[in-house]
Amino acid sequence: MSADSLFLGSDQGDAAYREAMNRATDAVLTSFADGDDPYSGATPEAIAAQFDEPVVPDNGQELEETIDEVAERVLAHSVGTSNPRCAAHLQCPPMVPGLVAETMLTATNQSLDSFDQAPAATVLEEQVVDALCDLFDLPGSADGVFTSGGTQSNFQALLLARDRYCKRYHGQDVQADGLPSDADLRILCSEEAHFTAKQGAHHLGLGEDAVISVSTDDDRRMDPDALDATLTTLETEGAEPFALVGTAGTTDFGSVDPLAALADRAAEHDLWYHVDAAYGGALAVSEAHGDLLDGIERADSVAVDFHKLFYQPISCGAVLLRDGDDFEVMARNAAYLNPEAHDEVGVPNLVAKSVQTTRRFDALKPYVAFRTLGRAGLASLVDGTLGLADEAAALVDAADDFELLHKPTLNAVVFRYRPRAGMDADAVSRLNAAIRHELLGDGRAIVARTEVDGVTSLKFTLLNPTTTLKDIAAMLDAIRDCGIRVAVDLEEPEVIA
User: Which residues make up the interface to ligand PLP (CB under 6 A)?
Assistant: 90, 149-151, 154, 194, 196, 247, 249, 251, 276, 278-279, 305, 317
Rounded CA separation 166/171 (Å): 6
Residue 20 beta carbon to ligand PLP: minimum distance, rounded to whole angstroms: 30
Give the residue from 160, 158, 151 showing the smallest Cα distance to 196: 151
Nearer Cβ to ligand PLP (172/247)? 247
Nearer Cβ to ligand PLP (149/483)? 149
Residue 157 beta carbon to ligand PLP: minimum distance, rounded to whole angstroms: 11
Q: Is 399 exposed, middle or buried (0-12, 13-18, 19+ CB in 10 A)?
A: middle
Nearer Cβ to ligand PLP (73/89)? 89
- CA gyration radius, the chain: 25
Compute the half-sphere exposure of residue 370: CA atoms within 13 Å on the CB side of its CA. 16
Residue 220 beta carbon to ligand PLP: minimum distance, rounded to whole angstroms: 13
Nearer Cβ to ligand PLP (166/448)? 448
Give the residue from 112, 5, 170 showing the smallest Cα distance to 360: 112
Query: CA angle at residue 278 from 89 to 199, to 5 degrees?
Result: 85
Residue 277 beta carbon to ligand PLP: minimum distance, rounded to whole angstroms: 8
Residue 282 beta carbon to ligand PLP: minimum distance, rounded to whole angstroms: 11
Residues 408 and 254 sit within 8 Å (Cβ to Cβ): yes
The stretches of 171-303 forming alpha helices (DSSP H) are 174-177, 196-203, 224-237, 259-268
Residues 89 and 412 sit within 8 Å (Cβ to Cβ): no
Nearer Cβ to ligand PLP (276/300)? 276
Nearer Cβ to ligand PLP (240/276)? 276
Rounded CA separation 65/72 (Å): 11
Residue 374 beta carbon to ligand PLP: minimum distance, rounded to whole angstroms: 25
Residue 307 beta carbon to ligand PLP: minimum distance, rounded to whole angstroms: 6
- The string of DSSP letters for 134-177 reads HHTT--TT-EEEEESSHHHHHHHHHHHHHHHHHHHHH---HHHH
Nearer Cβ to ligand PLP (282/479)? 282
Nearer Cβ to ligand PLP (297/305)? 305
The stretches of 353-451 forming alpha helices (DSSP H) are 364-398, 425-442
Nearer Cβ to ligand PLP (94/317)? 317
Residue 15 beta carbon to ligand PLP: minimum distance, rounded to whole angstroms: 37
Residues 373 and 97 sit within 8 Å (Cβ to Cβ): yes
Residue 229 beta carbon to ligand PLP: minimum distance, rounded to whole angstroms: 24
